[in-house]
Structure 1
Amino acid sequence: MATTNSSSPDPLLLFRQSIAAGGQPTPTTSPDSDEEVPLSKATHLIFLHPTRVSIPIDTQTRFLSAEGKQVGLRSIYFTWINRDITIPAYNSAAEKLNNELEGNKEAVHSCSFVERLNLVTWLEGAGDETEFIKPIGGGPGGKGGQGLIKKGGEGGEFGGGRSGRGGKGTLDPRLAQIYEGERRMGDRNSVLRGIKPTDFSHIRKLAAQFMTRKPGHHSSSAPGGAPSSSNPITNNPSLPINPKQVRRPDPIILLSPSASSILRMSNAKQFLEGGRYSPPENIVPPPTMLNVSRLIKEMDPNRPIRFILVETPEQFKPEYWNRVVAVFTTGQAWQFKSYKWPNPTELFKHVQGVYLGWRGEQPPESVRGFGHKVLCCSVEKWRDPTQPGAEQSRWRDREVVEGIWKAIEGNMRAKGWKRDAAPKEI
């Protein structure tokens, strides 16, 4: 089993750079070969961005599983190339690959739903913070190499005001590791607190009985008769001494898995993010989740909020339901059987409902019976773009999308979504 050392480039950082440059590594049978081979027979991965680098495929990476075990480079590559398949198909592919591997090779780690989501998001550059990636040089979790990659796939260039081999504005991966290992100077508070901040809030509860003002006791006065300032801890016992910053989870939107739905995983991103409707495509297998971004100025005027789109809650943990902000429905009751609230009337008391149909057609009777918490909207029927005037009817799509987002944002504000916090219960 190979491990990374101080003289070798970081495999995860190289992987992310290759994706940002519009490519991905190639599995080969030797460090000098460029011929791609099946993953079960590969011994090395060849990276071409920013320079050609060969790394043994059984090298352990900084990605840690939920059990705290290091995940090998073969498992990282396997998860990336199978990022769009369903979870049952992914598990079957992992089992098949493990059967093909020889006995002296490490088995592929089958990532869970959360591990897979975090890994793919980090490799794509859509997120810089994840609890599953061990930092380089002791920085915050998951930020190893953060800020070194220019998003958007611009040739794998680096920023940060440093330059090295490879030309102006670029940084050698080895130098990137060295810079990440630099000792960062802290201020007085960070030095005194040590490596891990200590929470002394329990001391406040013990001291409260001694600091309570007794009858007939007068507070000391400052010179000139002005009363001294009161203790802020006594005045506000709920004030935390050392609040911990918690990253806000991404809100979730559930789409209808019905074949009659005109909004599916294949066309939802273009519609909700681009403001243009196109018919769903028959993709086999369809993606299990998507990410769409939306700038909500009332919550965070500087950064778009990322929404996760899924069709089924089969992989949900109980706390995931507090992150659901909208449910798209066609009115079919079987859609809600596996939901936390299988009764549609009860469901739409907690979550914003959306029905999307064709303009000129009435919503189904079942949808109208769900109540006012289900937004009914419609788009123009799809016409072949080659037909005269087909494109002229699509200008209303953006208006419909903005109406949907307005309803979702209003429900989020009512439930307590903020720039850095999500509701504990909806």
Structure 2
Amino acid sequence: MATAEIDPLLFLRHAIAAGTAVVATATDAADAPQTPLPQARFLQFSGAAGESTPIPVDAPTRFLSNSAPVDLRSIYFAWLNREVAIHEYNAAATRLNEELATVGLSATVHKFAFVERLDLITWLEGASEESEYIKAAGGPGASGAAGAAGGTKLALSASASLARSRRGQLIDPRLAVIYSGERHTGDHNTVLRGMKPTDFTHVRKLAVPFMSQKQLGGGPAGITAPGGSMKPSASLPINSKGGPVRRPDPIILLSPSASSLLRMSNIKSFLEGGRYTPSDSSSTATMHFLTRTMKDIDPARPLRFILVEGPEHFKPDYWSRVVAVFTTGQAWQFKSYKWNTPGELFKHVQGVYVGWRGEPVPQGVKDWGHRVLNCNIDKWTDPAVPGADVNRFRDREVAETIWKTIEYNMRQKGWKRDSGASLGQ
């Protein structure tokens, strides 16, 4: 086949669609062994019938960059590195250029700009039929998808392979021809993020100071530590998304007593995972966030609970959001509360006491009546001791009992899908 009849760009695209081998070789012989790309002089394209078509790696293509045609070697190298980030691709291209110079070649690999590279890869994999960088075959009036004689032959073999690949079944050849002309649209990754999906979770950390500032009415989002890191503001967040508050985040108050079985260091694992672990006295956490779906309040959207040990930074409206108070039976815990006597407090808020199974309940908890839920868990045993985990499954039962009681109390106070408490505050 004459070189003038060959369209290298279409050959590569059809080979990718058909899944046929593309081998870099030092000669144009059909049985030439594969060689590294810096030493390669040809790319061998295998056909469905076993034939091989060699194309020089320095053959110009219809892909234009700054109005100049890009050679086949650069196109093929860009396809091989389609999964890597743009800076990794540029570094790899630089290394290849150095290797080309080492073997005595003056040719260099073209480094595609980000948009050019994205457009090329999208076209090669068949997600797009048009490209602003690809010159139409046969002149301005010809279609970019129309190939020459050699391209047509390879297109037929690609269609046959396509026919065999669909659902693992051989379909009618006429349907295969139709399928080969389909226009494939890209998914959200290729359209919005390029060829390699990008993880944007780090943006959330960068946005926290700005969101906090908006939530707190334009005040300072935090205090800058000597090392340059941001310390969160002492005030509690009102809403996780900022803007108008429709449903506030419910608050759970913990006991600051050292005798409390559930402290800031272990309350989250207990309420989320249903497993008790001893509290860590070295923990410095002052706030936790915990999400939980309350089916009888909002089955479609989880509520975010805020867990704190004291109301030192409360605003007046925060008390209407308190849905539970964990206590050890010591009344001094409530001195700084809005309702600073147990009798008044537990008229408005559900109390929770968690103690060891088999030990007596504090007299204070007994005196406060049914408004304080009395729960007992098995005593902690060193996991190294045989049989230590035998009864730990009961922890989940206790945690679920606490959640059911909190949910019932929230419904009684008027919590709804889009609003907080409206009764008894």
The structure with the largest helix share of the pair is: 2
Scaled by the length of structure 2, the TM-score of the pair is: 0.48
Scaled by the length of structure 1, the TM-score of the pair is: 0.48
Larger Rg: 2
